Amino acid sequence: MKNQYRPYGSPDLAALPRCGAKTRAGVPCKQPACARNGRCHWHGGKSTGPRTTEGKARVGQAHYKHGRYTRAAMAQRKAFAQLFREVRALLGKRK
Ligand SMILES: [Zn+2]
Give the domain ranges of the chain.
1-48
pLDDT digits (tens, 9 = 90+) for 42-87: 888 777 889 999 999 999 999 999 999 999 999 999 999 999 999 9
- pLDDT reading at 6 higher than 90: no
Q: How far apart are CA 54 and CA 60, in angstroms?
A: 10
Q: Which residue has the higher pLDDT, 13 or 68?
A: 68
- pLDDT reading at 95 higher than 70: no
Write down the pTM of the prediction: 0.44
Find the 30 Cα to ligand 1 centroid distance in Å: 6
Q: Which of 4-8, 24-28, 37-41, 47-51 has the lowest mean pLDDT?
A: 4-8
- CA trace torsion 17, 22, 24, 29 (10° rounding): 10
Find the 33 Cα to ligand 1 centroid distance in Å: 7
Find the 44 Cα to ligand 1 centroid distance in Å: 7
Q: How far apart are CA 25 and CA 27, in angstroms?
A: 6
Find the 2 Cα to ligand 1 centroid distance in Å: 23
Find the 25 Cα to ligand 1 centroid distance in Å: 12
Q: Please, what's the b/e burial string for 33-50 (b: 16 or more CB within 10 A of its CB; e: otherwise)?
A: bbeeeebbeebbeeeeee
Find the 6 Cα to ligand 1 centroid distance in Å: 20
